[in-house]
Protein backbone atom coordinates (compact mmCIF):
# COMPACT_ATOMS: atom_id res chain seq x y z
CA UNK A 1 0.00 0.00 0.00
CA UNK A 2 2.97 2.35 0.66
CA UNK A 3 4.01 2.00 -3.01
CA UNK A 4 0.52 2.90 -4.14
CA UNK A 5 0.32 5.90 -1.84
CA UNK A 6 3.57 7.25 -3.29
CA UNK A 7 2.15 7.23 -6.87
CA UNK A 8 0.97 10.57 -8.22
CA UNK A 9 -2.85 10.71 -8.28
CA UNK A 10 -2.97 11.03 -12.08
CA UNK A 11 -0.76 7.92 -12.58
CA UNK A 12 -2.80 5.94 -10.08
CA UNK A 13 -6.04 6.81 -11.89
CA UNK A 14 -4.58 5.75 -15.24
CA UNK A 15 -3.51 2.38 -13.86
CA UNK A 16 -6.86 1.77 -12.24
CA UNK A 17 -8.60 2.62 -15.52
CA UNK A 18 -6.43 0.10 -17.39
CA UNK A 19 -7.23 -2.63 -14.86
CA UNK A 20 -10.95 -1.85 -15.04
CA UNK A 21 -10.87 -1.96 -18.85
CA UNK A 22 -9.11 -5.32 -18.86
CA UNK A 23 -11.67 -6.77 -16.45
CA UNK A 24 -14.50 -5.49 -18.66
CA UNK A 25 -13.01 -7.15 -21.76
CA UNK A 26 -12.48 -10.41 -19.86
CA UNK A 27 -16.06 -10.38 -18.61
CA UNK A 28 -17.27 -9.80 -22.16
CA UNK A 29 -15.29 -12.76 -23.46
CA UNK A 30 -16.67 -15.04 -20.74
CA UNK A 31 -20.22 -13.86 -21.43
CA UNK A 32 -19.85 -14.34 -25.20
CA UNK A 33 -18.43 -17.82 -24.73
CA UNK A 34 -21.38 -18.82 -22.56
CA UNK A 35 -23.95 -17.20 -24.82
CA UNK A 36 -22.39 -18.59 -28.04
CA UNK A 37 -20.33 -21.74 -27.35
CA UNK A 38 -17.06 -22.04 -29.27
CA UNK A 39 -17.50 -24.34 -32.28
CA UNK A 40 -15.27 -27.38 -32.19
CA UNK A 41 -13.40 -27.96 -35.46
CA UNK A 42 -13.13 -31.56 -36.62
CA UNK A 43 -9.49 -32.58 -37.27
CA UNK A 44 -8.65 -32.84 -40.98
CA UNK A 45 -5.55 -33.89 -42.91
CA UNK A 46 -3.46 -30.88 -43.92
CA UNK A 47 -3.97 -29.65 -47.49
CA UNK A 48 -1.26 -28.09 -49.66
CA UNK A 49 -3.81 -26.63 -52.09
CA UNK A 50 -7.58 -26.14 -52.33
CA UNK A 51 -9.17 -28.61 -54.71
CA UNK A 52 -11.00 -31.92 -55.17
CA UNK A 53 -10.62 -34.37 -52.29
CA UNK A 54 -9.57 -31.82 -49.66
CA UNK A 55 -11.25 -32.02 -46.26
CA UNK A 56 -13.54 -29.13 -45.28
CA UNK A 57 -15.14 -28.01 -42.02
CA UNK A 58 -18.49 -26.24 -42.37
CA UNK A 59 -19.80 -23.98 -39.60
CA UNK A 60 -22.14 -21.03 -39.31
CA UNK A 61 -24.70 -19.11 -37.28
CA UNK A 62 -26.84 -21.31 -35.08
CA UNK A 63 -24.49 -24.30 -35.26
CA UNK A 64 -22.72 -25.48 -32.14
CA UNK A 65 -20.59 -27.99 -34.06
CA UNK A 66 -18.82 -28.10 -37.39
CA UNK A 67 -19.65 -30.59 -40.14
CA UNK A 68 -16.80 -32.46 -41.81
CA UNK A 69 -17.06 -33.18 -45.54
CA UNK A 70 -14.91 -33.38 -48.65
CA UNK A 71 -14.48 -30.78 -51.39
CA UNK A 72 -15.59 -31.73 -54.89
CA UNK A 73 -14.57 -30.36 -58.27
CA UNK A 74 -13.11 -26.91 -58.76
CA UNK A 75 -15.41 -24.60 -60.75
CA UNK A 76 -15.60 -20.99 -61.87
CA UNK A 77 -18.68 -18.76 -61.55
CA UNK A 78 -20.03 -16.52 -64.32
CA UNK A 79 -18.25 -13.61 -62.61
CA UNK A 80 -14.90 -15.41 -62.66
CA UNK A 81 -14.75 -16.38 -58.98
CA UNK A 82 -13.37 -19.84 -58.17
CA UNK A 83 -15.54 -22.24 -56.24
CA UNK A 84 -15.97 -25.84 -55.17
CA UNK A 85 -18.86 -28.23 -55.50
CA UNK A 86 -19.75 -30.38 -52.50
CA UNK A 87 -22.76 -32.16 -51.00
CA UNK A 88 -25.76 -30.03 -50.05
CA UNK A 89 -26.27 -31.80 -46.73
CA UNK A 90 -22.83 -30.57 -45.61
CA UNK A 91 -24.46 -27.14 -45.29
CA UNK A 92 -27.39 -28.18 -43.08
CA UNK A 93 -29.49 -26.28 -42.04
CA UNK A 94 -28.71 -24.08 -45.05
CA UNK A 95 -27.62 -20.48 -45.26
CA UNK A 96 -24.12 -19.25 -46.00
CA UNK A 97 -22.14 -21.86 -44.09
CA UNK A 98 -18.49 -20.90 -43.62
CA UNK A 99 -15.92 -23.32 -45.01
CA UNK A 100 -12.47 -23.88 -43.48
CA UNK A 101 -9.59 -26.13 -44.49
CA UNK A 102 -6.50 -27.38 -42.66
CA UNK A 103 -3.60 -25.43 -44.16
CA UNK A 104 -0.25 -25.33 -42.42
CA UNK A 105 -0.97 -25.39 -38.69
CA UNK A 106 -4.21 -23.39 -38.98
CA UNK A 107 -7.84 -23.81 -40.04
CA UNK A 108 -8.48 -20.66 -42.09
CA UNK A 109 -11.90 -19.85 -43.51
CA UNK A 110 -11.59 -19.88 -47.31
CA UNK A 111 -15.16 -19.22 -48.44
CA UNK A 112 -18.80 -20.08 -47.91
CA UNK A 113 -21.81 -21.83 -49.41
CA UNK A 114 -23.82 -19.69 -51.82
CA UNK A 115 -26.03 -22.53 -53.09
CA UNK A 116 -27.21 -25.72 -51.42
CA UNK A 117 -29.88 -28.23 -52.39
CA UNK A 118 -30.70 -31.10 -50.05
CA UNK A 119 -33.86 -33.13 -50.59
CA UNK A 120 -32.86 -36.10 -48.42
CA UNK A 121 -30.52 -39.10 -48.22
CA UNK A 122 -32.36 -41.45 -50.55
CA UNK A 123 -30.17 -42.13 -53.54
CA UNK A 124 -32.44 -40.38 -56.04
CA UNK A 125 -32.67 -37.18 -53.97
CA UNK A 126 -30.88 -34.00 -55.02
CA UNK A 127 -27.93 -33.26 -52.73
CA UNK A 128 -25.39 -30.72 -53.96
CA UNK A 129 -23.95 -27.34 -53.00
CA UNK A 130 -21.66 -24.59 -54.26
CA UNK A 131 -18.88 -23.02 -52.19
CA UNK A 132 -17.50 -19.72 -53.47
CA UNK A 133 -13.87 -19.12 -52.49
CA UNK A 134 -13.27 -15.56 -51.34
CA UNK A 135 -9.64 -15.95 -50.21
CA UNK A 136 -8.29 -17.75 -53.26
CA UNK A 137 -5.44 -15.27 -53.64
CA UNK A 138 -3.95 -16.48 -50.34
CA UNK A 139 -4.03 -20.23 -51.05
CA UNK A 140 -2.96 -22.26 -54.10
CA UNK A 141 -5.74 -23.91 -56.14
CA UNK A 142 -5.58 -27.26 -57.94
CA UNK A 143 -8.14 -28.93 -60.19
CA UNK A 144 -6.38 -32.33 -60.15
CA UNK A 145 -7.95 -35.40 -58.55
CA UNK A 146 -5.37 -37.58 -56.80
CA UNK A 147 -2.73 -36.34 -59.23
CA UNK A 148 -4.90 -36.89 -62.31
CA UNK A 149 -5.61 -33.85 -64.49
CA UNK A 150 -9.33 -33.18 -64.97
CA UNK A 151 -9.95 -32.94 -68.71
CA UNK A 152 -13.72 -32.66 -69.05
CA UNK A 153 -17.18 -33.51 -67.75
CA UNK A 154 -19.11 -36.68 -68.58
CA UNK A 155 -22.10 -36.29 -70.89
CA UNK A 156 -23.67 -39.52 -69.66
CA UNK A 157 -23.04 -42.50 -67.39
CA UNK A 158 -24.12 -46.05 -68.20
CA UNK A 159 -24.76 -49.16 -66.11
CA UNK A 160 -21.50 -51.08 -66.00
CA UNK A 161 -19.22 -48.02 -66.14
CA UNK A 162 -16.47 -47.90 -63.54
CA UNK A 163 -16.39 -44.80 -61.36
CA UNK A 164 -14.07 -43.73 -58.57
CA UNK A 165 -14.49 -41.26 -55.74
CA UNK A 166 -11.96 -39.54 -53.49
CA UNK A 167 -12.93 -38.78 -49.89
CA UNK A 168 -10.93 -37.27 -47.07
CA UNK A 169 -11.78 -40.08 -44.63
CA UNK A 170 -11.15 -43.01 -46.99
CA UNK A 171 -7.91 -41.25 -47.93
CA UNK A 172 -7.53 -42.88 -51.35
CA UNK A 173 -9.60 -43.44 -54.50
CA UNK A 174 -12.39 -45.98 -54.06
CA UNK A 175 -13.70 -47.48 -57.30
CA UNK A 176 -16.64 -49.63 -58.36
CA UNK A 177 -19.18 -50.42 -61.06
CA UNK A 178 -22.33 -48.40 -61.72
CA UNK A 179 -25.31 -50.60 -60.85
CA UNK A 180 -28.24 -48.15 -60.96
CA UNK A 181 -29.21 -44.71 -62.18
CA UNK A 182 -32.10 -42.33 -61.52
CA UNK A 183 -32.60 -38.75 -62.73
CA UNK A 184 -29.24 -37.12 -62.05
CA UNK A 185 -27.82 -39.66 -59.58
CA UNK A 186 -25.98 -42.96 -59.98
CA UNK A 187 -25.18 -45.72 -57.51
CA UNK A 188 -21.88 -47.59 -57.80
CA UNK A 189 -20.15 -50.34 -55.83
CA UNK A 190 -17.36 -48.29 -54.27
CA UNK A 191 -16.88 -48.36 -50.51
CA UNK A 192 -16.86 -45.15 -48.51
CA UNK A 193 -17.29 -43.75 -45.05
CA UNK A 194 -18.78 -40.76 -43.24
CA UNK A 195 -16.89 -37.58 -44.16
CA UNK A 196 -16.26 -38.65 -47.77
CA UNK A 197 -19.48 -36.91 -48.85
CA UNK A 198 -18.99 -34.01 -51.25
CA UNK A 199 -15.86 -35.48 -52.80
CA UNK A 200 -15.34 -35.88 -56.55
CA UNK A 201 -16.75 -38.88 -58.43
CA UNK A 202 -14.98 -39.42 -61.72
CA UNK A 203 -14.23 -41.79 -64.58
CA UNK A 204 -10.63 -42.54 -65.56
CA UNK A 205 -10.10 -42.02 -69.28
CA UNK A 206 -7.78 -44.27 -71.35
CA UNK A 207 -5.08 -41.58 -71.23
CA UNK A 208 -5.13 -41.63 -67.41
CA UNK A 209 -6.88 -38.30 -66.96
CA UNK A 210 -10.04 -37.83 -64.90
CA UNK A 211 -13.46 -37.13 -66.41
CA UNK A 212 -15.71 -35.33 -63.92
CA UNK A 213 -18.95 -37.22 -63.28
CA UNK A 214 -20.42 -36.04 -59.99
CA UNK A 215 -19.94 -35.43 -56.30
CA UNK A 216 -20.44 -38.08 -53.63
CA UNK A 217 -23.81 -37.38 -52.03
CA UNK A 218 -24.51 -40.50 -49.97
CA UNK A 219 -22.34 -43.29 -48.64
CA UNK A 220 -24.79 -46.21 -48.38
CA UNK A 221 -26.82 -48.59 -50.50
CA UNK A 222 -29.29 -45.77 -51.07
CA UNK A 223 -32.05 -47.69 -49.35
CA UNK A 224 -31.13 -47.07 -45.71
CA UNK A 225 -30.18 -43.41 -45.22
CA UNK A 226 -29.81 -43.95 -41.47
CA UNK A 227 -26.79 -46.18 -42.15
CA UNK A 228 -24.77 -43.37 -43.72
CA UNK A 229 -22.46 -42.82 -40.75
CA UNK A 230 -22.48 -46.31 -39.24
CA UNK A 231 -19.06 -47.41 -40.41
CA UNK A 232 -17.77 -48.21 -43.89
CA UNK A 233 -20.46 -48.79 -46.52
CA UNK A 234 -20.01 -50.98 -49.57
CA UNK A 235 -21.67 -48.71 -52.13
CA UNK A 236 -21.90 -45.01 -52.86
CA UNK A 237 -24.17 -42.53 -54.61
CA UNK A 238 -22.97 -39.70 -56.83
CA UNK A 239 -24.94 -36.60 -57.82
CA UNK A 240 -24.20 -35.89 -61.49
CA UNK A 241 -22.79 -32.39 -61.86
CA UNK A 242 -23.47 -31.55 -65.51
CA UNK A 243 -27.12 -30.44 -64.89
CA UNK A 244 -25.99 -28.24 -61.99
CA UNK A 245 -23.13 -26.66 -63.92
CA UNK A 246 -25.79 -25.55 -66.40
CA UNK A 247 -28.36 -24.53 -63.78
CA UNK A 248 -25.88 -22.41 -61.79
CA UNK A 249 -23.99 -21.12 -64.86
CA UNK A 250 -20.67 -22.63 -63.76
CA UNK A 251 -17.59 -23.68 -65.68
CA UNK A 252 -15.66 -26.78 -64.65
CA UNK A 253 -12.00 -25.91 -64.11
CA UNK A 254 -9.83 -28.35 -66.05
CA UNK A 255 -6.11 -28.73 -66.65
CA UNK A 256 -6.45 -26.70 -69.85
CA UNK A 257 -8.87 -23.97 -68.72
pLDDT, tens digit, for every residue of 201-250?
999 999 999 999 999 997 655 555 444 555 667 789 999 999 999 999 99
Average pLDDT rounded to a whole number, residues 171-182:
95
What residue segments make up the domains of the chain, in order of their start? 2-33, 150-247
* Element housing 191 (H / E): none
Residue 175 has pLDDT above 80, yes or no: yes
Residue 219's pLDDT is 67
- In the predicted model, what is the mean pLDDT of the chain? 83
Q: What is residue 130's three-state secondary structure?
A: strand
Compute the distance between CA of residue 90 and CA of residue 59 in angstroms, rounded to an integer: 9
Neighbours of 205 (CB within 10 A): 14
Contact at 8 Å (CB) between 126 and 239?
Answer: yes
Tell me 145's DSSP state: B
Residue 50's pLDDT is 96
Q: Per residue in 50-89, pLDDT tens?
A: 999 999 999 976 666 788 999 999 999 999 999 999 999 9
Choose among 162, 226, 239: nearest CA to 194: 226
Compute the distance between CA of residue 247 and CA of residue 78 in angstroms, rounded to an integer: 12
Residue 1 has pLDDT above 50, yes or no: no
* Among the four given CATH numbers 3.30.750.24, 2.40.50.100, 3.30.830.10, 2.40.10.10, the one describing domain 150-247: 2.40.10.10
pTM recorded for the entire structure: 0.80
Residue 202's pLDDT is 99
Amino acid sequence: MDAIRRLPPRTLLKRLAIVAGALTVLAGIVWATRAQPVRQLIPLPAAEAIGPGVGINVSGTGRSESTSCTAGFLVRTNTGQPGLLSAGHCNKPGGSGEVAIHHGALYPTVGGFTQSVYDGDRWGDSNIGLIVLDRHDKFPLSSEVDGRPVTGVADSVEIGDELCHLGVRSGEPMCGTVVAGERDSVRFTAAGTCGDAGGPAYRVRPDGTAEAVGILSVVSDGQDPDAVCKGTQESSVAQLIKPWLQAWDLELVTSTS
